[in-house]
């Protein structure tokens, strides 16, 4: 029996159709995808939202207002500060969709919420779901799901983090 790649995608989507909400929130926007981790400290200009890391595939591209899909952050704990600066300047992505749970980036969103009352959703999905979502022109993130596809009719359930870092 031979199956197509679309059928493989459908099987994996049916078997693993959930993600985790690291920082809850709502966002809607165009998808901006990279398969290379990105530094939020010195990799993105916090006053413009433009990727300034000359070696990154998104160099010169603005992340502002986009649903940013990426494997995770790159660098040390200073990435939290970089994300806080982006949120406070108004040039942050609308949301982060990560392939791996990134406590540093989640911490940045949590700090911005707790200290300044402003934040963005941060969610994680497995790499197969990430690739599927990367092919979508836009996504909507609600507290408990990611909506995608025509009329945002397809959904991925987001389970809140129950241990370690609390979901906001």
pLDDT, residue 86, reads 98
Report pLDDT for 77: 86
Catalytic residues: 76
Residues of the chain with pLDDT under 50: 1-5, 7-9, 11-15, 166
What pTM was estimated for this model as a whole?
Answer: 0.86
Q: pLDDT value at position 151?
A: 86
Q: Tell me what pLDDT residue 2 has.
A: 45
- Look at residue 21 in the predicted model and tell me its pLDDT: 95
Our CA dihedral for 5, 3, 98, 33, rounded to 10 degrees, sits at 10
pLDDT of residue 161: 80
Positive or negative: CA dihedral 68, 74, 79, 85: negative
Predicted local confidence at residue 162, as pLDDT:
63
pLDDT for residue 4: 44
């Amino acid at each position: 029996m031979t199956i197509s790649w679309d059928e493989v995608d459908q099987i994996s989507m049916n078997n693993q159709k959930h993600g985790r909400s690291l920082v809850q929130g709502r966002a809607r926007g165009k998808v901006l995808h990279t398969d290379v981790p990105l530094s939020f400290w010195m990799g993105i200009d916090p006053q413009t939202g433009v990727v300034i890391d000359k070696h990154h595939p998104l160099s010169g591209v603005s992340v502002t207002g986009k649903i940013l899909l990426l494997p995770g952050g790159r660098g040390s704990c200073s990435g939290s500060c970089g994300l806080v600066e982006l949120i406070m300047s108004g040039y942050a992505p609308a949301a982060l969709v990560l392939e791996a749970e990134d406590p540093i980036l989640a911490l940045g969103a949590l700090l911005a919420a707790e200290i300044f009352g402003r934040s963005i959703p941060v969610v994680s999905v497995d790499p197969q779901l990430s690739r599927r979502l990367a092919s979508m022109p836009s996504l909507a993130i609600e507290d408990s799901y990611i909506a995608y596809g025509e009329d945002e009719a397809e959904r991925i359930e987001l389970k809140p983090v129950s241990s370690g870092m609390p979901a906001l």
